Amino acid sequence: MTGKRILLGISAGIAAYKSAHLARLLKKAGAEVRVVMTEGAQAFITPLTLQALTGEPVRTSLLDPEAEAGMGHIELARWAELILIAPATADLMARLAHGHADDLLTTLCLASEAERVMAPAMNQAMWRHPATQDNARRLEAHGWRLLGPDAGDQACGDVGPGRMLEPETIVNELLGFKSPGTAPAVPFDTAPVSDTHTSDAADAHGMVVTITAGPTREPLDPVRYLSNHSSGKMGFALAKAAAERGARVRLISGPVALETPAGVERIDVESAVGMLEAAQEAAVDSDLFIGCAAVADYRAEQVAEHKIKKTAGDDALTLRLVKNPDIIATIAKNTAGKARPFMVGFAAETRELERYAQDKLNRKNLDMVVANDVGQAGLGFGAEDNAALVLWRETEGTPPGRLELPPQSKGALAATIIETALKRLHARQGSSSSSMPPQAKQ
């Protein structure tokens, strides 16, 4: 990041206090930093603070007589190589999504051809609102990269997605911006800075998380295979959310056309058998294992050596299929009594969602299950949004814990699922003789 020209935009959210630390970290990483603040942002943090940290004047006005030819927005738009807005409020996202240019920050965003990144920060209900989700998708379509938001306790007292990512996490994301899928060579410590609203129960720093994602392909012959409609988006969103909480993440993926989240180790597989082998190896030192992949239930008993040809006079083709291994049930069973990961399964259903989810929770010896109705239009396979019912084991003899998550972006849903899993994992560790992760015990 040495010499990279970064324009840091700050909008009117309580998370603006984190922007001072973010500016310091960007400078420490070698970047040149200039700050633009909205009028509302100045109610949360003063321009003088940012000026002292960056060594540059802070811009707040669209019509600045001291700017070059009085055209401050054009001057800054040409100067910036990267525009980073942190925090980005719901209001600012809405204005940028619809092309408004009514203050300095929004105007220079429209006038610049720089890379554009924002870290949303707002109340959880505001983030989940369909209008905000529509704006987020519109911004991404316009070339913005959204980092977060994180999930956890909020200043207003709510709990859920909407917290701005920690400054260290944002900088690490930027360090990996040019090389998706690889961790930065010298990452900043992602342990949260002092923040009375941070939920320690949802911290993953130092943990190992393994996630399976996407479909599997079961070959029939050299050119055909059995598969399903899974895009892998949910599993990749979970990997991103876990990495943003400081976890070391292994993502075992079937064939998908998705970019690996920054800082995540990706392992590509094709078949269910290949995914099982990778999962068994990865589960050995994992604290949390999430089976999100849509694994084919069956495979061909025999794979044809050559392409299967149509035969004249035959209007039907008979295939003999055999059952594939149940990956998450195998991991849950074979690691019992060892350093067993906290096991989270997914259930894609088209009817009787809760009954089938609870059955899967018990039958496969899971700690938590996330069920979604893939029969709903606009949700599930291939879609950008999803909804879920989350069930988890409580104490012996009591009904499972239950959380309903309404339709929302898969990124927001993933943040809440990871938060819930980590809280249950910490609760389980707290009730055991030691709360150390498996790899620390070895």
Which helix (DSSP H) or strand (DSSP E) does residue 134 occupy? helix 130-141
Cα within 13 Å of Cα(83), Cβ side: 28
Residue 401 annotated as binding site:
no
Residue 233 annotated as binding site:
no
Catalytic residue among 52, 131, 156, 308: 156
Beta-strand ranges (E) seen in 108-176 are 115-120, 144-146, 150-153, 159-163
Scored b (16 or more CB within 10 A) or e, 387-410 reads bbbbbbbeeeeeebeeeebebbbb
Q: In the structure encoding, which two tokens stand for residue 195, read together?
A: 């923040």
Backbone CA torsion sign across 344, 196, 187, 11: positive
Residue 109 annotated as binding site:
no
Calpha distance 346→370 (Å, rounded): 5
Calpha distance 148→168 (Å, rounded): 13
Residues in CB range of 382: below 8 A, 6 or more apart:
229, 230, 231, 233
Residue 235 annotated as binding site:
no
Residue 326 annotated as binding site:
yes
Q: Are strands 150-153 and 159-163 parallel, antiparallel or unpaired?
A: antiparallel
Q: What does the DSSP 8-state code read for residue 38?
A: -
Residue 364 annotated as binding site:
yes
Amino acid identity for residue 145 in this structure: R
Residue 297 annotated as binding site:
yes
Cα within 13 Å of Cα(383), Cβ side: 18
Other CB atoms within a 10 A radius of the CB of residue 21 amount to 17
Residue 187 annotated as binding site:
no
Residue 307 annotated as binding site:
yes
Calpha distance 184→387 (Å, rounded): 33
Residue 427 annotated as binding site:
no
Other CB atoms within a 10 A radius of the CB of residue 293 amount to 27
156 belongs to the catalytic site: yes
Binding-site residue positions for CTP: 291-293, 297, 307, 325-328, 346, 360, 364
Binding-site residue positions: 291-293, 297, 307, 325-328, 346, 360, 364
The residues that are catalytic are 156
